[in-house]
Chains A and B, each alone.
Chain A
Amino acid sequence: DGGITQSPKYLFRKEGQNVTLSCEQNLNHDAMYWYRQDPGQGLRLIYYSQIVNDFQKGDIAEGYSVSREKKESFPLTVTSAQKNPTAFYLCAIRGDNYGYTFGSGTRLTVV
């Protein structure tokens, strides 16, 4: 079953803790993206990767880190430096027609 998979669906983080959100795809696409969604602000780009072992900062990269060791995987780490991490996080891949396919998202909450 082809697609893009995000896990976990819900994630809780304690103050000062790093957490990692998973994004996996089996569609063999190069470009992958991480977006953050807050109420009333639409989606904002955190990081993106065009190819393995390469990634670039988006508009709100502070407090986040990523890696792209495999084509299939683009995990996002929310570090303790991110002061307001509670949000909905969406991973996406860019398809051949320039449209994005999104994962089902991860809801991160600070407790």
Chain B
Amino acid sequence: AQTVTQSQPEMSVQEAETVTLSCTYDTSENNYYLFWYKQPPSRQMILVIRQEAYKQQNATENRFSVNFQKAAKSFSLKISDSQLGDTAMYFCAFMKHTGTASKLTFGTGTRLQVTL
């Protein structure tokens, strides 16, 4: 079974600064996907970024980028130029590449507070 670990329950960053959220996972699979989801106070889950394990290049979406270290089974999220609207719970998630049965396994989340 896959496990996803987020070791930082809470983090705080000042507006316009950069913050990195950590995530490690455990799997024996070689082909899989990794995701970061954001859950603001509205509780709507929003996909932030996605990484395919077979791609060596780190995914980037505007101010959000990842540092994917496959051998170390590490998948951290970097948020640059933090904005107040980035305040949310952030969940790291893992999915095996097994066709239509693809299930997401989530970490316990990191609560990020962006301050003025």
Given the complex of chains A and B, what is the CA–CA distance between A105 and B4 in angstroms? 23
- Nearest Cβ on chain B to A47's Cβ, whole angstroms: 11
Is B91's CB under 8 angstroms from A48's CB?
A: no
Taking residues whose C-beta sits less than 8 angstroms from the other chain, chain B's interface range is: 20 to 34
Is A43's CB under 8 angstroms from B91's CB?
A: yes
- Nearest Cβ on chain A to B5's Cβ, whole angstroms: 10
Is B103's CB under 8 angstroms from A42's CB?
A: no
Choose among B33, B101, B103, B106 the residue with the greatest number of A CB atoms under 10 Å from its CB.
B103
B50, CB-defined interface residue at 8 Å: yes
Contacts of B105 in A (CB 8 A): 45
Q: B-facing mask of A39-62, CB < 8 A → 1, else 0?
A: 011111100101100001010000
Contacts of A51 in B (CB 8 A): 100
Within 8 A of A (CB), among B27-50: 33, 35, 42-45, 47, 50
Is B43's CB under 8 angstroms from A104's CB?
A: yes
Contacts of B19 in A (CB 8 A): none
Given the complex of chains A and B, what is the CA–CA distance between A58 and B101 in angstroms? 11
Given the complex of chains A and B, what is the CA–CA distance between A45 and B102 in angstroms? 12
Which B-chain residue is minimally distant from A88 (CB atoms)? B43
B60, CB-defined interface residue at 8 Å: no
Given the complex of chains A and B, what is the CA–CA distance between A30 and B102 in angstroms? 12
Is A100's CB under 8 angstroms from B109's CB?
A: no
| 10 A–B pairs (Cβ distance < 8 Å), ordered by A | A31-B101, A31-B102, A40-B9, A42-B91, A43-B91, A43-B106, A44-B106, A97-B50, A102-B44, A105-B43
Interface, chain B (partner A; CB < 8 A): 4, 9, 33, 35, 42-45, 47, 50, 91, 95, 97, 100-109
Give me 5 other A-B pairs in contact (C-beta within 8 A), A40-B9, A99-B35 excluded. Answer: A42-B109, A48-B101, A90-B45, A94-B100, A99-B50
Interface, chain A (partner B; CB < 8 A): 30-31, 33, 35, 40-45, 48, 50-51, 56, 58, 88, 90, 92, 94, 97-102, 104-105
